[in-house]
Amino acid sequence: METTLTTDLKTHNEARQGEAFAPFKVDETLYRKRFYIESYGCAMNFADSEVVASILHGKGFGATKNCEEADLIFINTCSIREKAESTVRKRLTEFKKLKKANPGILVGVLGCMAERLKEKFLQEEKLVDMVVGPDAYRSLPGLIEDAETGQKAVNVLLSRDETYADIAPIRLNSNGVNAFVSIMRGCNNMCSFCVVPFTRGRERSRDAASILNECRELFENGYREVTLLGQNVDSYHWTAPHSIDGIVDEPVTFAKLLEMVALISPLLRVRFSTSHPKDITDEVLFTIAKYDNICNYIHLPVQSGSSRVLQMMNRTYSREWYIAKVNRIREIIPDCGVSTDMITGFCTETEEDHQQSLSLMEYCHYDLAYMYFYSERPGTLAARRFADDVPEAVKKRRLQEMVELHRMHSLQSMQKDVGKTFKVLVEGFSKKTEADLHGRTDQNKVVVFPKENFQKGDYVIVNIHSCTAGTLLGKALSCAI
């Protein structure tokens, strides 16, 4: 069931201060002006765009998927790699041309690039009218008013307590089945290659009651899967000031929060991202193993297989320690899917270091891996301390070797599932044809099977008869309860 918004969203939010609420299907015909948002980077950016949409709706702006009919254009940016920044800069140049043809349009940059490049965007290149950091979205209405008078509108101040817990996200481009739920913001891990602590600030956890309210209302509105988001979800920690929603005055750890969300309904699947290897605990693993609706899938970024490089990255664990953690995951959750992040060509990385990364991948046999060559980020500890001394050609060659190895592992992982039967949550039609549906297994593997009488949001028992390196192909046996 979906709710149509027929009153001012700001009034609705204020009436339910301190809570989180259902995803609204907004009647866009109610709005005189239009906004357009493009989001880049991590899932947190996409979740933030849904918060921004809610704030803009409350000020009379309706969403559009066509930038040419928008009064406001925003890009929610990522600074994690140079390629992401280059993509954003290219898009801003295109929007500048659109603005020249339509001078009334306002263009703004949101998110992680805002702090680092605000002067360039506003003064030197004159690409934007507004620059708004990830903790300043509440100030957007005032900044828009400033920009409309010709002033350059900037707010990139970081916060120690902002979590947007009381703002109802507007689910942009939602399939009505999966939703992101932000549980914390910021990061305290000062990995030397990473700009996140400088662009998103220190860790702070959102209150557990608002998280539960949001997840519960998503389920009541037909959603069947939530992904709990944070830069490091395992660091989640919140204490209720008094008894709220059954939460007594005791700390809520991430394991406890996982359990609370899982208990909303056995029909609500629960995922989470991202875990830091040093922080994921046995308590979390046993909680995953205890509840069938907490997915057996953990994203556990390692970044390098060399203990020497890991130390330079300030990852606070060694190769051996990481392997022991993967072993522990598979001991407690034998069928757990594990994915990772890998960087090739970090400062001083040798061929021996690279081979250690490849051998770690051989040992772990990841189901999915996100692999990149090192891109120095201005302002990070690595940029200040180390020379970016691995030639780009070497970085790319090592990355290609890593990608080829993972392709083989991915295919092997898929082939092991041929002949098995899985419960699949249907997310929609397959990309190729509406005669087929696609969904995911508990272990986060994509499954495609003939539609028959099944539909989006169903749990379906599917027998796998073949596969590619990235997709399981099957035949539905029955609808699962």
Query: What does the pLDDT read at residue 9?
Result: 30
Judge if the upstream peptide bond of residue 274 is cis by omega within 30 degrees of 0: yes
Domain range annotation of the chain: 3-155, 178-415, 421-480
Which residue bears the tokens 């919140």?
238
Locate 69 and state its tokens: 């009919």
What is the arithmetic mean of pLDDT over 27-40?
79
Residue 217 scores a pLDDT above 90: yes
Cα separation, 152 vs 150, whole angstroms: 7
Query: What does the pLDDT read at residue 84?
Result: 78
Q: Which CATH class is domain 3-155?
A: alpha beta
Helix 140-148, helix 43-57: angle, nearest 10: 70
Indicate the SS3 state at residue 124: helix
Cα separation, 199 vs 117, whole angstroms: 11
Question: Phi, psi at residue 422, to the nearest 5°?
Answer: -135, 155
Q: Determine the distance from the C-alpha atom of residue 309 to the mean position of all C-alpha atoms in its chain, rounded to a whole number.
A: 26
Query: What does the pLDDT read at residue 397?
Result: 98
Locate 289 and state its tokens: 């193993």
Locate 102 and state its tokens: 């339509």
What is the arithmetic mean of pLDDT over 194-207?
92
Tens of pLDDT along 240-249? 776 655 566 6
Residues 178-415: name the CATH superfamily: tm_1862 like domain (3.80.30.20)
Q: By mean pLDDT, which of 18-22, 31-35, 387-391 is the weakest? A: 18-22
Query: What does the pLDDT read at residue 18?
Result: 30
What is the arithmetic mean of pLDDT over 72-96?
87
Report which residue type is found at 124: E
Q: Strands 297-299, 337-344: parallel, antiparallel or unpaired by DSSP? A: parallel
Where are the extended beta strands (E) located within 244-308?
Answer: 251-253, 269-273, 297-299
Q: Bin 288: left if φ > 0, else alpha if -120 < ψ < 50, else beta.
A: alpha
Residue 70 scores a pLDDT above 60: yes
Which residue bears the tokens 């040093």?
278
First to last CA, the chain: 19
Name residue 480's beta-bridge partners: 459
Query: What does the pLDDT read at residue 14?
Result: 32
What is the arithmetic mean of pLDDT over 326-338?
97
Mean pLDDT of the chain: 90
Residue 413 scores a pLDDT above 90: yes
Query: What does the pLDDT read at residue 414?
Result: 97
Query: What does the pLDDT read at residue 6?
Result: 25
Is the separation of the CB atoms in 44 and 228 below 8 Å?
Answer: no
Is pTM beyond 0.85 here? Answer: yes
Residue 21 scores a pLDDT above 80: no
Q: What is the CATH number of domain 421-480?
A: 2.40.50.140
Which residue bears the tokens 């606070």?
316
Locate 2 and state its tokens: 């979906």
Q: By mean pLDDT, which of 105-119, 240-254, 369-383 is the weakest? A: 240-254
Tens of pLDDT along 139-194? 999 999 999 998 889 999 999 999 999 999 999 888 999 999 999 999 999 999 99
Name residue 371's beta-bridge partners: 342
Indicate the SS3 state at residue 380: coil
Torsion of CA 376, 380, 382, 387, to 10 degrees: 50
